[in-house]
């Protein structure tokens, strides 16, 4: 029997009398990858917080490397060799990448002197280890989401941690970076470290983990070897009921061209010469590496950063338009569900009803005054239709699970009755059940004649959902594949078309 | 056990879902407390008076609420009031525009100023704090530049003044309907309209609001434009209230307004806050202040208690909110209970009103007894002692502190109750407020050192109408607004004494510079105009090189003098006409080693003794301040006892002996010149 | 120097100062006399010292508007102690200590009770100022021992000593902010408090520390200012907080925390301090002075905003990853 790195037994935790964890036991052996799965709200995040010292358990005990830890703190966790890669990267936006790494890695008195040259060297080294070309001198606030995620991974590598907790580390990564991550995991394993791996991407779990523990409603349902369980059983265990995995793609008759781009460029976002079109009733998948310009393209189309006036043109339903602000985009019937749900997609502190109506306030108001009854009614309609799990429309969105938050974000854009809907990573950080529902919804919307542009880093999702797939590379389009020609390999080949140094 | 804890928590959550409930309790507690302690606090009249003082500040606070909800701040509101006030004055008096047009012009100026803020903040994306800090200086500076800080526009038509001083149906202040209408408009704007919804979203997350296709820049811009507009409305009411328009209108109001907004539970980080909360915050502060005045507690307690209140309320609110997010199903329960909460609150409010009503009756019936019999047949157990309320321009000023010693001496000799209270810093509006409080409190005589002639006169007339005797001292109000004026020395007398002394020291020719107080200080500006007149009439050889402000700050006077000495080497005499400025100027001259430069000024003996002995300061001009306070109380008591009637030619004031009275002015005597020979004989 | 990228604000303030200097050199060369510069330096010393502390607090994502009141109290206390017979240096040290205690009180209310700093310091500002007014009744501290003025030095020696102390403090603070782990931790706390806590930093203690440093510096400023005179007014430092905050934000520190340099702050203090007397030298009427000051501040800041078309974009991307103060709980997973 290999020695235990971590053993948590009978951990219970409740907030305000509502229990989040009930007598959860979990252990991690040396050289092991132990996957922790469950739907959002199952208690994974709370469990991680307890292990990393961010929260104190009500009951239960923690033993790390044979040492009983009665009172865990973030600083103690660090010194014990526990590193966490959070789902939401927690970087310091005003500081450079190098310094971000240093803050996570260096220890010692706060009165010590900082060695900038050493910091810089170390940062370069670590970033190279992840295979991403990020300049350590850049301010973290200018990094894209996936780049931030990579910095988080570099932190964990640098920490030489015995126990690395990865909470959805691949949520915004392309396969290319995921492979890098797996090699990092392999390295950790070889050094007899342990990894607690949390992901909604089941194929990854099966590829990388040794054991799987399923949490549901704050309780441990099962812990078993990965080889001893198959995919449908795992899903069933997680959600507590049998379910279809994902909505099947159905052939549809594509309509007129809803949106057409002719040589569109955006210097300030590094987009150049993009030409493509989407038809009504069609799902256009957009794939590409991190930093290839997918999100930037979406932001250009939505008017957040208008396209260059002097080059290229955008046509909506055949008419040339200039989209210079989001409100202009909305008036043209373009909706955009952004990548960063918590910061951009919804307003966490506002209730469901206000969130759903935020982009279509005219529809629920007369002469500038909001008709609250109409607003509630409209929101209730979406809650029912999208099966948003919430007791009422006046609940703050921040209290909902990721999947339900995403549905609220979708409701906001459905309420403008869009002709064109841009979805940026629509299922990122969303649990299995909600994911399937969102997939079904996308198919349904396309079936009703909406032109859908779906950006996703998860290739199986892109392949399963799209009618055609556009692949981006270094700020421009490197190819468009039809559903029949598309395979993971071909997409990846297009995404890597030019030398990797070309991409930032 | 756990259930008990839970039920306590849900009870608390039900009662204090946010800061407003805490504040409502505070307000009720304040009202209850002062009802018991402060005479005549709990009256309908006092209630309306509180709304009157609160109108201008309330407008600013209400306008600031959406600004802060949208995650911004506007520090320029007070300065904008000053600019709008002088715009109104200039348009009406200088350009002779009809008043409605002048008012429209003032509003336009407000919109323009607000638009400047809006452009810099919303379009250029500059931080609101720094932009409005800059426009604070800009607006106030333009107002001072336009008027040379000295012009005081008065003589507005009676019908306009009604807006700030009149009553509708005898009790409701005329500005109240305007205030209520604007509050209602803001409630609709913030809580009901599409715009308000956008503001909340922007306050929570400006980026998220952009992604929701909200016109962020336009919405944010709007609140700043509106805040400029509301500052102008407040300025117009302020001008009507005080009857004068000066560049210093609304000084410091921005912090008071922000205090009210923050106390009302609005988060300085944006996204949370209500107009209702702001109103509660506003009234919690106003009630506290009025209550302290009526209870004759020191005005300084206002600041201390405001601080404590602010910390306690927000800490309580934090304590409640800090709990983890409400679980979904608890929220559902809350939904159901909201109506019940409303009913409970209504019951409590109704209950407190009933208690209040009975208290009013009780106090009236108790208070009526002695007062009715007081004049005829003093009850042997509780002889009616005269209550004389004396107000300095500013309480902390050493000048007035020394007056107070004299006032207390007189009060002891005469066996009267002395109420000594005043603004903690120069503030015309606070003086009015305090007089109103004293009227409510029904004192026997009021003696005021007037900061603002036009402004205070109407409220003093009101006091006289209610049978209170009014005496002014130090500076006069309009002559029909008071019974007597205790005149320590006329402005002309002071100016002449200073100018003659300067001429004597300079030997009839040479340059000198004036260090004044604040540029807009009325007294100093009057002295300066008489000094200029005297120069032209009697001393053509003297030249006034420049006038610099000291803002009544010794250190600033010091720095200004240092610069002056270098820029104007030919200036051989510094005339400092604000009490702290004389030692400041003297120290600068001494440190520069400029033995050729002399310093004279108007100040207190004590703080100048070292310099007079050193020979840096030649002469300090002042009257005996202790005697001034003494005489003010003596005269007030005599008038209140009907021992000093109009037309009297003299009066006998204790140790001061026979004092001359000329045309309802009680003359203390000529100003004194303190110098090396006599200064040690005085201690104030 | 990696983290010193993006010196836009410092540059535009430096240009503004240079432009002002150019105008003065032509129109009023007397401005640059050693005597005038020394006077200017001494007069603005309190602003500079307090601004150093304020920079730390602002970088940590907080603000303190109670410094004016603390300044007044510390001056009066130093004077009262000296008058009561305490050695001058001891009285001065006690005043600094008192300042530090007030600062720590603010810091504790902010960091441990969780009240927003603007609310805490608004409350302490009004409370302290009125409490001082109440106790002194406006009286000045007079009849100080002769050794009090110039701290026992001569008028000639004093500026050298003070200059040395100030330069030393400024350089030490700038160096610590840049090269000490504690300095970087302040930036980290202001940039993303939650992440800082997860990185094992004791953010509450750090914030408390910045506040008490500010308090101690305010005490020192009050003392160094008080000893230039032979009596101490009880209403000193009115409006000091606004001057200091203006200097710090004009110097480029963001009030949402995480950014700012002492270089910027020093430049901000220099610009604001230079304008007033410069206008006297240029014979601008005192009545238009304030308007011009406001316009110059706005122009300096707006120029910075206008000259960078990407400003908004960068500001936009900086925001979402959750830096600064308040509402940062949303960064939590």
Query: What is the ipTM score, two decimals?
Result: 0.82
The interface residues of chain C toward chain B in range 246-265, judged by CB-CB distance below 8 A, are 246, 249-250, 254-255
Q: Record the pTM.
A: 0.81
Residue of C287, C292, C300, C321 best to disrupt the B interface, most CBs of B under 10 A: C287
Nearest to B144 by CA among B232, B85, B93, B230: B85
Please list every residue in chain C whose beta carbon sits closer than 8 Å to the beta carbon of residue A199. none
For tokens 């038809």, the residue is A279
The interface residues of chain C toward chain B in range 103-132, judged by CB-CB distance below 8 A, are 109, 113-116, 118-120, 122-131
Q: Is A60 exposed, middle or buried (0-12, 13-18, 19+ CB in 10 A)?
A: middle
B289 versus C326: the higher-pLDDT residue is B289
Closest CA in chain B for residue A18: B327
Distance from CA of A274 to the nearest CA of B (A): 22
A35 — phi, psi (to 5°)? -85, 140
Q: Is A372 exposed, middle or buried (0-12, 13-18, 19+ CB in 10 A)?
A: middle
Please list every residue in chain A whose beta carbon sits closer than 8 Å to the beta carbon of residue C330. 342-343, 348, 398
Distance from CA of C332 to the nearest CA of A (A): 7
User: Hey, is C141 helix, strand or coil?
Assistant: strand
Q: What is the C-alpha to C-alpha distance for residues A67 and A154, in angstroms, rounded to an integer?
A: 27
Q: How much is the pLDDT for C275?
A: 85
Put simply, whether A369 touches B (Cβ < 8 Å) is: yes
| The pLDDT of residue B164 is above 70 | yes
Distance from CA of C46 to the nearest CA of B (A): 11
Q: How much is the pLDDT for A400?
A: 85
Distance from CA of A481 to the nearest CA of C (A): 32
8 A C-beta contact, residue C304 and residue C46? no
Q: How much is the pLDDT for A297?
A: 93
Q: How much is the pLDDT for A432?
A: 77
8 A C-beta contact, residue B588 and residue B434? no
The interface residues of chain C toward chain A in range 183-222, judged by CB-CB distance below 8 A, are 183-185, 187-188, 190-192, 194-202
A61 versus B370: the higher-pLDDT residue is A61
Please list every residue in chain C whose beta carbon sits closer than 8 Å to the beta carbon of residue A109. 181
- Residues near B32 by beta carbon (within 8 Å), at least 6 away in sequence: B352, B355
8 A C-beta contact, residue A166 and residue A154? no
Q: Which of B188, B207, B335 sits opposite A343 (nearest CB)?
A: B207
User: Hey, is C50 helix, strand or coil?
Assistant: helix
- Tens digit of each residue's pLDDT (9 = 90 or more) over B99-150: 999 999 999 999 999 999 999 999 888 888 889 988 998 999 999 888 876 7
Computed over every residue of chain C, the mean pLDDT equals: 83
Residue of B83, B122, B133 best to disrupt the C interface, most CBs of C under 10 A: B133
Q: How much is the pLDDT for A41?
A: 67
Q: Which of C181, C199, C259 sits opposite A94 (nearest CB)?
A: C259
Q: How much is the pLDDT for B422?
A: 86
Going through A16-137 in order, the beta strands assigned E by DSSP cover 18-29, 33-37, 59-64, 67-69, 82-85
**CA–CA–CA angle A300, A302, A307 (5° rounding):** 30
Q: What is the C-alpha to C-alpha distance for residues A3 and C161, in angstroms, rounded to an integer?
A: 65
| The pLDDT of residue B2 is above 80 | no
State the number of CA atoms in the 13 A half-sphere of B615 facing the CB.
4
Closest CA in chain A for residue B3: A17
Closest CA in chain C for residue A104: C199
Distance from CA of C213 to the nearest CA of A (A): 15
DSSP conformation class of B173: E
Closest CA in chain C for residue A159: C199
Cβ contacts from A onto C, under 8 A = 135
Kindly compute the dihedral angle of the four CA atoms of residues B7, B9, B14, B19, in this order, to the nearest 10 degrees.
160
Percentage of chain B exceeding pLDDT 90: 31
In B507-549, which ranges are continuous DSSP H helix?
Answer: 522-538
Q: What is the C-alpha to C-alpha distance for residues B487 and B507, in angstroms, rounded to an integer?
A: 31
Chains that touch B (3 or more CB pairs under 8 A): A, C
Put simply, whether A224 touches B (Cβ < 8 Å) is: no
In A33-115, which ranges are continuous DSSP H helix?
Answer: 44-51, 74-79, 97-105
Q: Which of A89, A107, A110 sits opposite C185 (nearest CB)?
A: A110
Is B197–A345 a contact, with Cβ atoms under 8 angstroms apart?
no
Q: Which of C123, C277, C302 sits opposite B126 (nearest CB)?
A: C302
Put simply, whether C133 touches A (Cβ < 8 Å) is: no
B327 versus A463: the higher-pLDDT residue is A463
8 A C-beta contact, residue C297 and residue B131? no
Buried b / exposed e along C128-167 (16+ C-beta atoms within 10 A)? bbbbbbbebbbbbbeebbeebbbbeeeeeebbeebeeebe
For range C46-52, the mean pLDDT: 95
| The pLDDT of residue B361 is above 50 | no
Going through B578-655 in order, the beta strands assigned E by DSSP cover 598-602, 617-622, 650-653
Closest CA in chain C for residue A141: C318
A208 — phi, psi (to 5°)? -115, -25
pLDDT along chain A (504 residues), means of 10: 84 78 90 85 84 88 88 85 80 89 81 86 85 83 80 82 84 71 84 86 85 88 89 79 62 86 89 92 87 88 90 91 92 92 89 92 89 92 90 86 89 93 88 85 91 88 90 88 87 67 36
8 A C-beta contact, residue A144 and residue A177? no
How many separate helices (H) and strands (E) can be counted in chain B?
24, 16
Put simply, whether C307 touches B (Cβ < 8 Å) is: no
Is A348–C330 a contact, with Cβ atoms under 8 angstroms apart?
yes
For range B316-340, the mean pLDDT: 44
* Both tokens assigned to A220: 């441990």
Put simply, whether B480 touches A (Cβ < 8 Å) is: no
Is A91–C332 a contact, with Cβ atoms under 8 angstroms apart?
no
8 A C-beta contact, residue A298 and residue A315? no
Q: How much is the pLDDT for B79?
A: 94
Q: How far is CA C324 from CA A138, C202, C318, in A?
A: 19, 16, 10
Q: How far is CA A387 from CA A32, A392, B635, C327, in A?
A: 38, 12, 82, 29
For range B564-575, the mean pLDDT: 90
Nearest to A405 by CA among A385, A372, A377, A383: A383
């Amino acid at each position: 029997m290999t020695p235990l790195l971590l053993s948590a037994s009978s951990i219970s935790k409740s907030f305000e009398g509502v229990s989040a964890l009930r007598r959860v036991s979990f252990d991690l052996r040396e050289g092991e990858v132990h996957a922790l799965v469950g739907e959002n709200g199952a208690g994974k995040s709370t469990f991680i917080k307890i292990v990393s010292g961010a929260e104190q358990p009500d009951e239960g005990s923690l033993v790390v490397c044979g040492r009983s830890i009665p009172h865990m703190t973030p600083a103690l966790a660090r010194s014990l060799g526990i590193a966490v890669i959070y789902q939401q990267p927690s970087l310091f936006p005003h500081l450079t990448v190098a310094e971000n790494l240093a803050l996570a890695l260096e220890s010692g008195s706060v009165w010590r002197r900082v060695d900038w040259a050493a910091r810089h060297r170390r940062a370069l080294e670590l970033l190279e280890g992840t295979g991403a070309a990020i300049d350590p001198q850049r301010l973290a606030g200018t990094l894209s989401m996936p780049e931030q995620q990579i910095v988080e991974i570099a932190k964990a590598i640098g920490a030489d941690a015995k126990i690395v907790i990865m909470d959805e580390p691949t949520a915004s990564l392309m396969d290319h970076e995921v492979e890098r991550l797996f090699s990092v995991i392999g390295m950790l394993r070889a050094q007899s470290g342990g990894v607690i791996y949390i992901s909604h991407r089941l194929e990854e779990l099966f590829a990388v983990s040794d054991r799987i523990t399923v949490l549901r409603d704050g309780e441990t349902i099962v812990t078993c070897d990965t080889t001893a369980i198959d995919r449908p059983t795992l899903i069933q265990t997680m959600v507590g009921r049998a379910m279809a995995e994902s909505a099947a793609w159905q052939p549809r008759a594509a309509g007129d061209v809803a949106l057409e781009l002719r040589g569109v460029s955006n210097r300030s976002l590094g987009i150049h010469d993009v030409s493509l079109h989407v038809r009504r009733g069609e799902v256009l998948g957009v794939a590409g590496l991190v930093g290839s310009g997918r999100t930037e393209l979406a932001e250009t189309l939505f008017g957040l950063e208008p396209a260059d006036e002097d080059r290229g043109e955008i046509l909506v339903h055949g008419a040339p338009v200039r989209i210079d602000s989001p409100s202009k985009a909305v008036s043209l019937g373009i909706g955009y569900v952004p990548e960063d749900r918590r910061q951009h997609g919804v307003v966490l502190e506002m209730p469901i009803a206000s969130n759903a109506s935020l982009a279509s306030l005219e529809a629920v108001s007369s002469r500038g005054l909001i008709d609250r009854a109409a607003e509630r009614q409209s929101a209730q309609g979406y809650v029912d239709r999208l099966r948003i799990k919430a007791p009422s429309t006046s609940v703050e969105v921040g209290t909902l699970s990721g999947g339900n938050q995403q549905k609220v974000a979708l409701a906001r854009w459905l309420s403008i009755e869009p002709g064109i809907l841009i979805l940026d990573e629509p299922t990122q950080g969303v649990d299995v059940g909600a994911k399937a529902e969102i997939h079904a919804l996308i198919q349904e919307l396309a079936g009703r004649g909406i032109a859908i542009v779906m950006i996703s880093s998860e290739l199986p999702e892109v392949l399963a959902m799209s009618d055609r797939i556009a692949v981006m590379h270094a700020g421009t389009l490197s190819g468009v594949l039809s559903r029949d020609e598309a395979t993971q390999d071909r997409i990846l080949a297009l995404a890597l078309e030019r030398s990797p140094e070309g991409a930032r | 056990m756990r259930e008990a804890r839970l039920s306590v928590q849900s009870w608390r959550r039900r009662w204090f879902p946010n800061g407003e409930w805490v504040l409502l309790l505070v307000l009720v507690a304040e009202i209850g407390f002062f009802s018991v302690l402060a005479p005549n606090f709990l009256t309908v009249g006092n209630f309306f008076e509180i709304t009157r003082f609160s109108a201008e500040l309330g407008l600013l606070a209400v306008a600031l609420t959406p600004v802060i909800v949208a995650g911004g701040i506007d520090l320029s509101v007070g300065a904008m009031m000053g600019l709008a006030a002088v715009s109104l004055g200039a348009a009406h008096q200088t350009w002779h525009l009809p008043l409605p047009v002048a008012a429209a012009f003032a509003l336009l100026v407000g919109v323009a100023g607000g638009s400047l803020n809006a452009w810099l903040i919303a379009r250029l994306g500059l931080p609101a704090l720094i932009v409005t800090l800059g426009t604070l200086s800009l607006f106030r500076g333009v107002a001072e530049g336009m008027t040379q800080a000295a012009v005081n526009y008065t003589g507005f038509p009676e019908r306009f003044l009604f807006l700030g001083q009149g009553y509708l149906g005898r009790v409701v202040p005329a500005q109240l309907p305007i205030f209520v209408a604007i509050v209602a408009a803001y409630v609709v704007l913030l809580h009901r309209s599409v715009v308000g919804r956008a503001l909340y979203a922007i306050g929570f997350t400006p980026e998220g609001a952009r992604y929701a296709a909200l016109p962020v820049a336009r919405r944010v811009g709007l609140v700043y434009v509106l805040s400029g507009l509301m500052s102008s409305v407040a300025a117009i009411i302020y001008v009507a209230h005080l009857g004068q328009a000066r560049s210093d209108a609304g000084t410091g109001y921005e912090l008071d307004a922000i205090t009210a907004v923050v106390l009302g539970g609005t988060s300085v980080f944006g996204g949370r806050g209500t107009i209702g909360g702001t109103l509660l915050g506003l009234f919690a502060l106003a009630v506290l202040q009025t209550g302290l005045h009526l209870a004759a507690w020191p005005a300084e307690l206002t600041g201390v208690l405001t601080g404590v209140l602010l910390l306690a309320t927000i800490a309580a609110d934090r304590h409640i909110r800090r709990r983890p997010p409400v679980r979904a199903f608890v929220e559902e329960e809350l939904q159901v209970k909201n109506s019940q909460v409303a009913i409970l609150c209504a019951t409590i409010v109704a209950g407190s009103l009933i208690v209040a009503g009975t208290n009013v009756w009780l106090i009236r019936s108790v208070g009526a007894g002695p007062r009715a019999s007081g004049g005829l047949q003093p009850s042997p157990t509780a002889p009616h002692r005269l209550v004389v309320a004396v107000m300095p321009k500013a309480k902390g000023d050493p000048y007035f502190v020394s007056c107070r010693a004299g006032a207390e001496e007189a009060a002891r000799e005469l066996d009267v109750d002395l109420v000594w209270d005043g603004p903690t810093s120069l503030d015309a509006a606070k003086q009015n407020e305090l007089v109103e409080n004293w009227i409510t409190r029904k004192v026997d005589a009021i003696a005021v050192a007037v900061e603002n002639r036009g402004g205070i006169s109407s409220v003093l007339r009101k006091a006289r109408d209610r049978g209170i005797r009014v005496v002014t001292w130090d500076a006069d109000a309009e002559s029909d607004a008071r019974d007597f004026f205790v005149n320590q020395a006329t402005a002309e007398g002071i100016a002449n004494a200073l100018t003659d002394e300067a001429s004597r020291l300079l030997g009839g020719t040479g340059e000198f510079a004036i260090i004044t107080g604040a540029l807009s200080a009325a007294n100093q500006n009057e002295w300066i105009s008489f000094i200029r007149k005297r120069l032209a009439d009697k001393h053509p050889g003297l030249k006034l090189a420049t006038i610099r402000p000291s803002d009544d700050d010794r250190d600033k006077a010091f720095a200004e003098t240092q610069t002056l000495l270098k820029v104007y080497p030919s200036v051989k005499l510094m005339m400092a006409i604000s009490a702290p400025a004389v030692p400041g100027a003297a120290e600068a001259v001494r440190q520069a080693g400029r033995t050729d430069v002399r310093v004279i000024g108007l100040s207190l003996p004590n703080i100048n003794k070292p310099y007079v002995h050193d020979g840096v300061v030649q002469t300090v001009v002042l009257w005996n301040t202790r005697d001034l306070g003494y005489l003010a109380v003596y005269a007030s008591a005599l008038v209140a006892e009907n021992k000093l009637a109009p037309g009297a030619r003299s009066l006998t004031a204790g140790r001061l002996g026979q004092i001359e009275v000329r045309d309802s002015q009680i003359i203390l005597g000529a100003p004194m010149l303190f110098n090396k020979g006599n200064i040690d004989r005085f201690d104030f | 120097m990696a983290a010193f990228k993006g010196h836009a604000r410092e540059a535009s303030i430096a240009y503004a100062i240079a432009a002002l200097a150019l105008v003065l050199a032509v129109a009023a060369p007397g401005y640059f006399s050693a005597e005038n510069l020394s006077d200017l330096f001494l007069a603005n010393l309190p602003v500079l010292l307090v601004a150093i502390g304020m920079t730390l607090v602002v970088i940590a994502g907080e603000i303190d508007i109670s410094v004016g009141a603390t300044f007044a109290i510390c001056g009066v206390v130093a004077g009262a102690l000296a008058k009561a017979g305490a050695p001058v240096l001891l009285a001065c040290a006690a005043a600094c200590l008192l300042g530090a205690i007030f600062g720590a009180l603010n810091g504790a209310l902010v960091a441990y009770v969780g009240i927003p700093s603007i609310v805490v310091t608004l409350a302490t500002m009004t409370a302290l100022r009125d409490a001082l007014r109440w106790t002194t009744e406006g009286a000045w501290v007079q009849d100080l021992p002769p050794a009090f003025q110039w701290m026992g030095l001569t008028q000639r020696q004093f500026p050298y000593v003070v200059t040395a102390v100030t330069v030393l403090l400024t350089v030490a603070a700038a160096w610590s902010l840049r090269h000490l782990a504690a300095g970087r931790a302040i930036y980290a706390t202001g940039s993303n408090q939650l992440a800082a806590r997860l990185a094992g930093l004791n953010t509450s203690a750090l914030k408390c520390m910045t506040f008490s440093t500010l308090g101690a510096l305010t005490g020192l400023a009050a003392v160094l200012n008080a000893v230039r005179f032979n009596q101490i007014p009880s209403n000193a430092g009115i409006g000091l907080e606004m001057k200091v905050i203006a200097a710090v934000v004009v110097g480029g520190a963001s009030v949402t925390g995480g950014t700012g340099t002492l270089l910027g702050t020093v430049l901000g203090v220099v610009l604001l301090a230079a304008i007033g007397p410069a206008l006297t030298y240029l014979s601008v009427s005192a009545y238009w002075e304030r308007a011009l000051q406001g316009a110059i501040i706005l122009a300096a800041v707006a120029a910075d905003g206008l000259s960078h078309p990407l400003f908004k974009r960068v500001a936009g991307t900086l925001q979402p990853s959750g830096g600064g103060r308040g509402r940062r709980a949303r960064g939590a997973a």
